Amino acid sequence: MYIAITVLILLFLPVHSAAQGVDILQPAAPQTLEQLSVRHNAEYLERRAGALEWAAANEVPVRRLLDDGRVVELQYIDESGLPVFHTTFNAVSAVSVGTDLLYPEGERGLDVTGQGYFAGVWDAGIADTSHKEFAGRIIPRDSFTDPDHHATHVTGTIAAAGLNTGVRGMAWEAEIWSYDWNNQLTELTRAAAEGLLVSNHSYGLKLGWTREDGEWVWNGSPDADEDYRFGFYTRSQSRALDELAYKAPELLMVWSAGNSRGGDGDGTREPNGPFDCIGPEAISKNVLAVGAVDKIPGGYEKPSDVRMTSFSSWGPSDDGRVKPDIVAPGQALYSTLPEDRYGFSSGTSMSAPVVSGSLLLLQQLYHRNNGRHMRAATLKGLVIHTAHQAGKNRGPDYSFGWGMLNTQAAAELVAKEDGVSTFIRELTLNDGDVYKFDFHSDGEADIVATISWTDLPGAPPFTDKINPPDLMLVHDLDIRITDETGNVYKPWVLDPDDPEKPAERGDNFRDNVEKLLIENPEPRRYTVTVSHKGEFRGGRQNFSLIFSASLGQPVDQTNLYWTGGDGNWGDPENWSLVSGGEPAGIVPNDTINVVFDENSFKSTDHVIKLETDVACRSFYWLTRGGYRIDMAGNDVEINGDMVISGNIGLAGNGGDFIFRGDSGIINTGRNLGQPLPMVFDNPAGNWKLLSDLRAESLLVRTGNLDLSFKEIYVANLSAAGEFPGSMDISGSRLYLTESFVIEEGLFEVYPEDISIMINLEEDDSQVRLSVPGVVLDNIEVLKGILAIEGDNRAGRLVNRAETRLTGSNSVADMILYPGSATYLAGGSSQVFDGFEVVSTPENPVLIHSLSEEPAGIIHDEYVKFCFDHLDISNVTAGGLAVFGSGTNSRLSGETSGWIPGPCEDILFARFDVEFPCAHAQTRFADRSDGSPGSWFWSFGDEAASGDTSNFINPVYTYGAPGTYGVTMTISDNGGKTTAEREISIIENTLPENEIVIDNQMKRFLSRETAPNYQWYNDGLPIPGATRRSLDMAEYTGEIRVLLTDDQCNRFSETLVVKVEEILPGQEELVIYPNPVSDYLTVRFKSHYTGEVMVEVIDLTGRITANYGMNKEKGVLIFTMGSEWPSGLYMIRIVAGEEIFVERVVKR
């Protein structure tokens, strides 16, 4: 017997100890995440209970503290039957990674500290909330009471205030949600629904060789020389984390890579590593796995400054992915300890919080500049894009991953993002599509392009073999850059079969991050292409693109830079060929790009004046000042792109930005100034929005506008219908303040997963919505009035304020909240496939007709709605549904169909079905409301007679699979109602069965096996007779056995047992079945009692088998196997002086 223990390890190595906002979180998909958290919680409780039983049986402590300070705690039993434990990985960081440059006193002047932000820390316990470095910023989210040494040290690295100047955390004004590591998946899911952006996990599985209390301990299987879990993508950890990441796309989980490298062992097996020694959590595709390197006190200057620790685990994953993702300082880090103490610790437990705190600052900086947070894939891609080169070769490797964290470079990219030479784009690639853009490099800086995406969870193999190469990547995206001479540049790739081999360029089919570097590029035009292999599950994949280059001027384009301050657009003296340069003496036209940058204005209040319509190729507003354009009713025609990386203001009235080019991108993510009026007008035009948008108006006259997967704040959104064109708003969220109108005609709208939000400043302000033929998936009215004109369709309509339906509409889910008012056009019919009303006595829900003519609500499914506290006037209820209005509603005018009174008293028929299988005892159970007094069932079996019943809970047997219409009509003194359902009768999963007689054991035996048995005698179940056999001495009459599995049941053939006296001359020998394939039953009827011999004789006269038994009076029934060759045999019964013979054929 052996016990192999799987342990999660807090990743630190103790050295010694010494005594010494603003809430801007955005919730992520709460309904989906709540369902996931419920599932994880149920799985955890079940697995935890089994693990505690295992611990008790094997006398293993559930939680223990090792001599070196590491904590070990039992969690569950994994897929291979091994117990899993969590355990800690203990084996001048801000300066090393450049995070200090983001602080208020930092030379970059970025002034981010984490104030108003939360990081989640899961650890061996809760951090010390009373430590002076935290000052009330630790929020315990678990019932764990005693402060934990390791958790306090990790938390200090993220968020210590710096009262002791040597321990200031990365995000030293952030708050911490502190959890212990038990039930981590449930808690992570719930935290993601609350808007958590970054979580830290400085622990993992205890694998391979570990040193415990002075001895080497082997944690793998005793018959294996290597722990297969190194690098393995597991279902319980790796896949579960990837699933969570996919459903919570803003949460980036930071996981310690582990301290397993260098575990020498006791000599009976090879040591751990050096490669392939990372555990399953950090192996997940969508987490950020962090390795540990030495601190760099003076800051990074060159790759050789980054020195690897002796313990940090190395990749690759079993399928060859780059792991760890990044490295950070983790050697001898000084941080907080319980009871206001401080101390040093080492390990990837220490490097992970360096990264977590820095990531929080990057999110804060990005939100300040863009008004929203990055997706997790974007943040991960940004960190990899800007990482310091580490190791002896260019590109990634399996030791340092993509390099060392470079917070400074990441922050500078965010701060300097201009949408042209440096940008971060969050995009969506539809199935079969290719994303492209062109740029012109001046050759003065490297070209770097990184794509990153949150991939669907992989499908791990069911194996405990070492290093299965099965690829875990589900959606394989590819980035390429092609120059104008035809050269194709590919991203970095590694070879897992030769992990020390330097990175090369090639096709990366393993990672969900691809980084492409062109060093010393030639000054020429380049094209970036992002494509994909195979098909996308769900039809699309979100991805992030981070790009940086030094751009020059293409020979076929000219840039004009505004230098005029206050001045007239049409004055040639106000434009220069270089930023801040001398006047060019020319004005822009439709082939010239216009650029407004920091050198365009000399003071703080400048206005550019338009005296006529003007034109340009592309429009770049790169200045951060609040400067304005006075359009004075004139238009700016744009024939290329619009990029705004600062705040733009408009002075005067009237005028539009009119897009007339064949293609163009629009990136206005930095514009927190005035909303823009935008018109799109080119039948061949294709425009794509790359950022969220604030617009006064969006009008598509002709052409194709892609607004998908963005947040758009717009007063008026409209499209003309007389010309072909399209608008893709799928996956976006539109905040409307005045109107959304699509004229009927040739124009197409793609609205999948669109959300329309109405949240006006005044209660009596109104938004007009008219989009006939377009299904809007989600509409929410938060404040103000929404008037839906004409006949429309919606997926989900949530009314928290006032909604007016002036036509006849179809809504999949209509939800009315307390105090809301819904007005319906007189004579209209509103079809609600789903209908939910939430009302209170203080805030009833109002549903009125807009005129004296009644309106109607229809629900065409047989369900019962139980409402109360309604105010209904001139609105009827109809269809197949039953509408209960409760005891506290006010009904006036024509309100037929609404039934007042307690809902439970309203008669409503419904039933359940169990065992819907052919040849089964299909059971029907009445589940009706009210007080029915009679029942009538029709089972819809037209091929049979007697397919009706008056029982409350009848049983019926269908003779064949198929679909049957079942009705149940119930009646009381006030009337009757009928429930109708189509049920699918499937093929019976159980075989035909018969009862055989075991004469030796004196028992009846079911020939077939099943999970469950119930024996019947003369039609009644025999209490307690639930085994495969039944004692035959106790029963006569009709005997049957009912087999049951999780889908079907099935009766055996009936065996009639009776006691009769056999007289001479009434002897009989019967054998069956004949021919026989397996079991043969011999039935011998005779007055003889005593010893009987049964013989099987072949055609040569040889006795193939013989059986002796004792026969009492009556009938002897005997079953035997027929393990003989095929052919003709004689069955001979010798009973005293008498012999009986029958022939049988063996198949």
Q: What pLDDT, in 10s, does the model give residues 889-901?
A: 999 999 999 999 8
The CATH architecture annotation of domain 911-985 reads Sandwich (2.60)
pLDDT of 24 reads 32
CA 32 to centroid of chain Cα atoms: 8
Return the closest-CA partner of residue 713 out of 698, 702, 728: 698
Task: Give 765-781 pLDDT, tens digit per residue.
Answer: 999 999 888 888 899 99
- Rounded Cα–Cα distance for residues 481 and 624 (Å): 31
- Rounded Cα–Cα distance for residues 493 and 507 (Å): 7
945: buried, middle or exposed (CB in 10 Å: 19+, 13-18, 0-12)?
exposed
Class (C level, CATH) for 1068-1146: mainly beta
- Rounded Cα–Cα distance for residues 1085 and 1117 (Å): 9
Most confident of 39-48, 266-275, 334-343: 334-343
What is the DSSP secondary structure assignment for residue 988, as one 8-state letter?
P
| Angle of helix 407-416 versus helix 376-385 axis, rounded to 10 | 110
Task: Give 325-372 pLDDT, tens digit per residue.
Answer: 999 999 888 899 999 999 888 888 999 999 999 999 999 999 888 878
* Strand bridging mode 955-956 / 922-926: antiparallel
Q: Where in the chain is the domain with CATH 2.60.40.1930?
A: 1068-1146
List alpha helices for 196-324, DSSP H. 240-247, 280-283
Residue 1091 has pLDDT above 90, yes or no: no
pLDDT of 28 reads 44
Q: Where in the chain is the domain with CATH 2.60.40.10?
A: 911-985, 995-1057
Task: Give 143-201 pLDDT, tens digit per residue.
Answer: 777 788 899 999 999 999 989 878 889 999 999 999 998 889 999 999 999 999 999 99
Q: CA 474 → CA 147, 241, 377, 512, distances in Å? A: 41, 15, 15, 9
CB 1111 within 8 A of CB 1135: yes
**Which residue type is seen at 926?**
D
Give, for 966, the enclosing helix (H) or strand (E). strand 962-972
Task: Give 524-583 pLDDT, tens digit per residue.
Answer: 889 999 999 999 998 899 999 999 999 876 555 688 999 987 789 999 999 998 888 899
Domain 995-1057 falls under CATH 2.60.40.10: yes
| Ordered strands of the 955-956 beta sheet | 911-914, 922-926, 955-956
- Rounded Cα–Cα distance for residues 354 and 67 (Å): 26
**Which residue type is seen at 611?**
E
Q: Which two tokens stand for residue 716?
A: 């008026």
Q: Which of 155-164, 268-277, 823-832 has the lowest mean pLDDT?
A: 268-277
Residue 2 has pLDDT above 60, yes or no: no
The contacts found for 43-47 with CB under 8 angstroms, 24 or more apart, are 43/185, 44/76, 44/182, 44/183, 44/185, 44/186, 47/75, 47/76, 47/77
pLDDT of 131 reads 94
The residue among 700 and 1136 whose pLDDT is bigger is: 700
pLDDT of 605 reads 66
Q: CA 887 → CA 875, 884, 902, 903, 1055, distances in Å? A: 18, 9, 6, 9, 59
Q: Which two tokens stand for residue 364?
A: 């804060």
DSSP per residue, 367-434: HHHHSSPPPHHHHHHHHHHTPBP-SSSSS-BTTTBT-B--HHHHHHHHHH--SSSEEEEEEEEETT--
Count of H helices and E strands in the chain? 9, 86
The residue among 390 and 1129 whose pLDDT is bigger is: 390
HSE-up (13 A, CA, CB side) for residue 875:
23
Residue 665 has pLDDT above 50, yes or no: yes
Task: Give 887-931 pLDDT, tens digit per residue.
Answer: 999 999 999 999 998 988 889 999 999 999 999 999 999 999 888
SS3 labels along 112-159? CCCCCCEEEEEECCECCCCCCCCCCCEEECCCCCCECHHHHHHHHHHH
Which CATH fold topology does 92-411 show? Rossmann fold (3.40.50)
pLDDT band at residue 71 under the 50/70/90 scheme: confident
- Rounded Cα–Cα distance for residues 1074 and 1147 (Å): 9
pLDDT of 91 reads 44
- Say whether the peptide bond before residue 316 is cis (omega within 30 degrees of 0): yes
Task: Give 273-302 pLDDT, tens digit per residue.
Answer: 789 889 899 999 999 999 999 988 888 899
- Rounded Cα–Cα distance for residues 841 and 179 (Å): 40
3-state SS class at 1010:
coil
pLDDT of 813 reads 94
Residue with tokens 């081999």: 501
Query: What's the full length of the chain, in residues?
Result: 1147
Q: What percent of the chain has pLDDT over 90?
A: 52
- Rounded Cα–Cα distance for residues 864 and 627 (Å): 60
pLDDT of 4 reads 29
Residue 10 has pLDDT above 60, yes or no: no
The CA-to-CA distance between both ends of the chain, in Å, stands at: 48
Task: Give 586-639 pLDDT, tens digit per residue.
Answer: 999 999 999 998 888 876 668 899 999 999 999 998 887 778 899 999 999 999
pLDDT band at residue 872 under the 50/70/90 scheme: very high
Neighbours of 1147 (CB within 10 A): 10
Return the closest-CA partner of residue 801 out of 790, 791, 816, 811: 816
Provide the mean pLDDT of the chain.
86
